[in-house]
Amino acid sequence: MSSAIDPRWRDVDLWFADRLLPPDPAGGAALAANQAAGLPAHDVSPLQARMLALIARMLGARRVLEIGTLGGYSTMHLARALPEDGQVVTLEADPHHAGVAAANLDRAGLAARVDLRVGRAVDSLPELAEAVAAGVAAPFDLVFIDADKPSNPVYLDWTLTLVRPGAVIIADNVVRDGRVTDADGDASVQGVRAFTDKVAADPRLTATVLQTVGMKGYDGFMMILVDTAPAAP
């Protein structure tokens, strides 16, 4: 994110990470490999990765869909949170990013639990939806939307064809330094705004937003529960 990071945000992130997170050599190696390969530092932070893993475990998730792999840092934490026979399907448009991610996941011993599909997400999603509709693949328990923000509304539509009732959707970067409230914001802001309106208009969905500060700056997550019946007020 663009604006300055208050040094306290980083210090507090590191203070808690130091106490609450185990040493993570594979994660550290992945971040180093991403940097060496010139990938943008858009990975979730270690504490955010832990949050994703906790949500997966709280749901008892077996199948997770991630849209936007980058170097596989979030993927790695989601995959570790699944049972042995669980799977993360992760979609990445950039072959260079996907190559780095595949090497990172391999090195972490997680390749068998990750199905990394290279190509634009809109091109991979129909095939996934067909497999779920045909009963060839189980529906997803958890979806992490973290790719090109202008496509978020489209990703929501596909996601709703791919999940089980009771599934959770997490969308990253919905605050963007507060720019989300700018009606004349850029295409990413417009994507998040349209996504939010779509979520709000769908009676199956109950959502909230957590604004975050930390080593990644000022941003936030949307958390959405896919209800079986219209949401209670």
Binding site residues, ligand DHB, CB under 6 A? 1, 42, 146, 172-173
Cα–Cα dist 142/160, whole Å = 11
Tokens of residue 193, six digits: 């705004």
How many residues in the chain?
Answer: 233
Q: Residue 171's beta-bridge partner residues?
A: 145, 222
User: Is the Cβ–Cβ distance between 225 and 166 less than 8 Å?
Assistant: yes
Least distance in angstroms from the C-beta of 52 to ligand DHB:
12
Cα–Cα dist 87/21, whole Å = 23
- For ligand SAH, give the closer residue by CB, 68 or 191: 68
Least distance in angstroms from the C-beta of 173 to ligand DHB:
5
**Is 89 a binder of ligand SAH (CB under 6 A)?**
no
**Is 115 a binder of ligand SAH (CB under 6 A)?**
no
- For ligand SAH, give the closer residue by CB, 165 or 186: 186
- For ligand DHB, give the closer residue by CB, 6 or 127: 6
Contact pattern for ligand SAH over residues 68 through 87, marking x by CB under 6 A = xxx--xx-------------
Cα–Cα dist 20/12, whole Å = 12
- For ligand DHB, give the closer residue by CB, 24 or 146: 146
User: Is the Cβ–Cβ distance between 83 and 112 less than 8 Å?
Assistant: no
DSSP annotation string for 30-91: HHHHHHHTT--S-SPPHHHHHHHHHHHHHHT-SEEEEE--TTSHHHHHHHHTS-TT-EEEEE
Least distance in angstroms from the C-beta of 18 to Mg ion:
23
- For Mg ion, give the closer residue by CB, 69 or 124: 69
**Is 92 a binder of ligand SAH (CB under 6 A)?**
yes
Q: Point out which residues bind Mg ion (CB under 5 A).
A: 146, 172-173
Residues 6+ apart with CB under 8 A from 137: 63, 128, 131
Partner interacting with residue 120 (select from ligand SAH, ligand DHB, Mg ion, none; CB below 5-8 Å by kind):
ligand SAH
Q: Which residues bind ligand SAH (CB under 6 A)?
A: 42-44, 68-70, 73-74, 91-94, 97, 120-121, 146-148, 151
